Structure 1
Amino acid sequence: MYYLELIQRFWTYNQNAQVGSTAVAMYLYLLKTAYSNGHYDFTISDVAISRDLGLSRNTVITTKGRLRKLRLIDFKTKNGLPCRYRMIINYPIDNSGQLELLKINMEESINDKTSLDIKMAEDIGTEANVSSCLNGNSSKENAIVPSKDILPLKMKMIIPEIEEYLEYAKTLDGYDSTLEFKIRKKYSEWLEKGWCNNAKRPITNWKSSLKSALPFLLDSNLGKTLYEGTIPKIRRPQYPSDKNK
């Protein structure tokens, strides 16, 4: 097992993905456990991890799920038995990790907001029903039930892979191969901003956003082309009167 090489690979990966301090601690702990066992597959209980890292059991369960979504580990659980882990050693270390983490964060954020809004809606309904009972009217017909309109709609923010993004860019009018670097840079900028544009608004239709951004990339590329190179020296034409001087 190439223990030191895998540690270095993970730090390189984390520079792009920024998985979080808890996930970092748990991944390195699992890697150290694999090294001690001399194999990428091993078993260890959530209770043991919780004790050694000082984390709650729920945090351990959530974090290992997060690491699996990032494709850093895999595991299998069975009631009454320690969890069986497998360290994945051939995961990509480019910005795909950043993309996966962004998707996970968005999913967790949506789920947290949905749970909070459902709880608020339930509280509103409960308070209204209690008020109805206190007023002497507790019939089912007059009981207030939270409307489904109160619950949030999940906003679908589709984030393409870089390959799909570039392939679509090539189909747009005005696309030129010299723009590929700037198009890639725009993709990275949107990722770093949480898949939002310069106005900090979520990008819900990335194809439309890219199509709108392309003319500005063309303009900047044109300006660069116009001002590249040296300016030729222009000689003043000679007139017959100049020769007599």
Structure 2
Amino acid sequence: MENYNLELSDRIWKFNESRALGLSTLSVYFFLLRIGIERTSLKFTISDTQISTQLKMTRKTVKVCKEKLRRFGIISYQSISGIPAEISLISDYPLILDNQHFDDDLNKKRKAKKQNEEVLVQSKILKTSVSEIDDISTKKIMDFPTLKEFIEYAESIESYDDNLLLEIKNKHQTWTNNGWKNNFDRPITNWKSALKNSLPYLYNSAIKNKKTIETIPTIRRIKIDGDS
């Protein structure tokens, strides 16, 4: 095992000359090599938590370093959730990598990461847009007038007439029942303007109703003999 120690130590340094692994990744590798020497085996089981504790690294950093070593073929392992991975130290990994193969693999990972980031950004934009629409809708609903406010504004309009009061009440009820949409099923975004424009029609309707009431004949009771 001592020979393996020297061979693997020498090999990792030679590999690092052509493809810099980084201090953290080298630290993880030499820690794993030390564990292998202690257990006199190139294959052993150890958890990320143990590595993290010994090297004073976060588990996330340990995972990244292990994945880099595996990608270069320096170690092999299979992750199983909740179970410490069985790690194998590879002794005959190539010192010179197929750069094209590695670059293609790296480009794929970068592309996938970029796509994930774009999806997250679009998701945030969509959520923000939906939230803004909800806020606008809520604000519009809250801006709809009460009957009292509706009548008070109608009375402030120059063309207002007392004969319109019943028609104005009915108009408020109609728009409320219809979700504050007009006869064309379009949202009423400015109820004051809509009411002001409706007054001439409401006035005509009020006059017509008044004439109808006035023309209804009065029915007199016919006296029958014997009535007192």
TM-score, length-scaled by structure 1: 0.50
2:91 to 89, 92, 117: 89
Per-residue deviation, residues 26-57 of structure 1 (Å, max 9, x unmatched): 11111111111111011111110011112211
Q: Which secondary structure state, in structure 2, belongs to the residue aligned with residue 92 of structure 1? A: coil
Letter in 1 for 2:18: N
| Correspondence for 2:40 | 38
For the pair shown, the structure with the greater C-alpha radius of gyration is: 2
Pair 76,50 (structure 1): closer, same or farther in 2 beyond 3 Å? same
Give, in whole Å, the separation in 1 of the partners of 2:92 and 2:106.
23
Aligned to 2:118: 117
Q: Retained in 2: the 8 A contact 1:70–1:100?
A: no
- For residues 107 and 81 of structure 2, what CA distance do their matches in structure 1 show? 30
| 1:180-199 mapped onto 2 (5 Å cutoff) | none
Match of 1:133 in 2: 134
Distance 1:88 1:107, change over 3 A: same
Higher alpha-carbon deviation: 100-109 or 43-52: 100-109
Query: Aligned partners of 2:34, 2:100: CA distance in 1, in Å?
Result: 27
Gapped runs of 5+ residues in structure 1?
Answer: 138-245
Say yes or no: does 1:21 pair with 2:8: no
Give the C-alpha shift of residue 80 in structure 1: 3.8
Deviations 1:41-78 (A, max 9, x none): 11111110011112211222232122111111111334
Which whole-Å CA distance do the structure 1 matches of 2:136 and 2:83 have between them?
54
Total equivalences in the alignment: 137
| SS of structure 1 residue aligned to 2:21 | coil
Partners of 2:16 and 2:101 in 1: how far apart? 12
Greater mean alpha carbon deviation, residues 109-118 or residues 8-17 = 109-118
Partner of 2:79: 77
Deviations 1:75-119 (A, max 9, x none): 1334443221111101111243x5565345434432332222111
1:3 maps to 5
**What runs of 5+ residues in structure 2 fail to find an aligned partner?**
139-228
The counterpart of 1:48, out of the listed 47, 50, 56, is 50
Aligned counterpart, 2:202: none
Identity rate, percent? 25
Cα shift at 1:17: 1.5
| 1:12 aligned residue (14, 23, 39) | 14
Check the 8 A contact 1:19/1:101 in 2, yes or no: no
- Give me the whole-angstrom Cα distance separating, in 1, the residues matched to 2:54 and 2:83: 18
| CA distance, structure 2, for counterparts of residue 93 and residue 28 of structure 1 | 17
Is the Cα–Cα contact under 8 Å of residues 3 and 35 in structure 1 kept in the other structure?
A: yes
Q: Which runs of 4+ in 1 moved over 4 A?
A: 98-101
**CA separation of 1:57/1:30 partners in 2, compared to 1, >3 Å: closer, same or farther?**
same
CA displacement, residues 209-243 of structure 1 (integer Å, 9 cap, x when unaligned): xxxxxxxxxxxxxxxxxxxxxxxxxxxxxxxxxxx
Partner of 1:59: 61
